[in-house]
Amino acid sequence: MNAIDYFLRSTLYLLLFAGCYQLLLRRTTYFDLNRAYLLLSLFASLLLPFASIPESAGETLPTGVITLPSITVGRQPQPMAFDWSVPVMLWIVYGAGTLVMLLRLAWRLRAVHQLIRHGSAQPQGGYVLIRLAHNQVASFSFGRYLVLNRTDADNPPAALLRHEEAHIRQRHTIDVLILEIAQAVFWFNPTLLYYKRALQEVHEFLADKAAAGQVNTSYAHQLVSYALDAPVAALTTPFISFSTLKQRVIMLQKPASPAGPCSAMRWCFP
């Protein structure tokens, strides 16, 4: 199996898994299972193309091999010019795209590191609280760091703290980095954009579910009232994401899906 066959097969598997998730799981409240499904199906899409169906083994007759000495007639061949064939050009384009995506990821990681390094650190139970002296970004969590901008650091909203603590406790940053690396390697595959958004959505649902049980007042009301027009640092999990805000409020009000999620999951794997 050559590289093109592998990329095509992995893309088809990814499309199949994404379609099953959209049709059967996305609107359910099985948030933990949905997170596991998205990650496992991503890895399955990368590994399944290597699975081969064993062929029936027939009797093979031994083949004789005769090696003849090489004979050079005439002048030695001249060095060949670089082969600018289509496969070579495709590999160059692929390598350049992967390099650009990896550099983009490194730049984003550096930007987050700079924000954390220039903030005031205060160790907490299970994470490190970083207080910024500006409002250039919205408050967010990354890894074991909970970063508050100046406004939130002066008066931390309880809903925000519980929400970001849930992101840290459930290690959502690992999922984000896995998707970023996969997107760098398979940058030409648009299905990964769907996976990235779906996983971000599930992360928010999980954090909302954890925070809603710890905040006394209406969590949904706080979520909407906090919706400020602030820039968001890349790769982070901010309290407010306008692309998922409406769906988050809907899911907070939605009753739990009926028991028996395995019946739905069964149809989502080949």
Between residues 72 and 160, which one has the greater pLDDT?
Answer: 160
Cβ atoms of 151 and 187 within 8 Å: the answer is no
Of the pLDDT bands very low, low, confident and very high (cuts 50, 70, 90), residue 229 is very low
What integer is the mean pLDDT of 151-179?
92
Between residues 69 and 198, which one has the greater pLDDT?
Answer: 198
pLDDT digits (tens, 9 = 90+) for 169-194: 999 999 999 999 999 999 999 999 99
Between residues 227 and 130, which one has the greater pLDDT?
Answer: 130
* Percentage of the chain exceeding pLDDT 70: 73
Nearest to 176 by CA among 131, 140, 128, 135: 140
Q: Where are the domains of the chain?
A: 3-24+84-266
Q: What is the DSSP pairing of strand 140-142 with strand 237-238?
A: antiparallel
Residue for token digits 């907070």? 252
Q: In angstroms, rounded to a whole number, what is the distance separating the alpha carbons of residues 270 and 266?
A: 9
pLDDT digits (tens, 9 = 90+) for 68-79: 566 555 555 555
Residue for token digits 């933990």? 32
Buried b (16+ CB within 10 A) or exposed e, 79-88: eeeeeeeeee
pLDDT of residue 115: 93
What integer is the mean pLDDT of 71-99?
75
Stated pTM of the model = 0.79
The tokens of 85 are what?
């064939």
Between residues 229 and 178, which one has the greater pLDDT?
Answer: 178
Q: In angstroms, rounded to a whole number, what is the distance separating the alpha carbons of residues 145 and 168?
A: 8
Q: Longest Cα pair distance anywhere in the chain, in angstroms?
A: 91
pLDDT at 120 over 90: yes
pLDDT at 217 over 90: no
pLDDT at 114 over 90: yes
Q: How far from 228 is each of 52, 148, 151, 157, CA to CA, in Å?
A: 52, 14, 11, 13
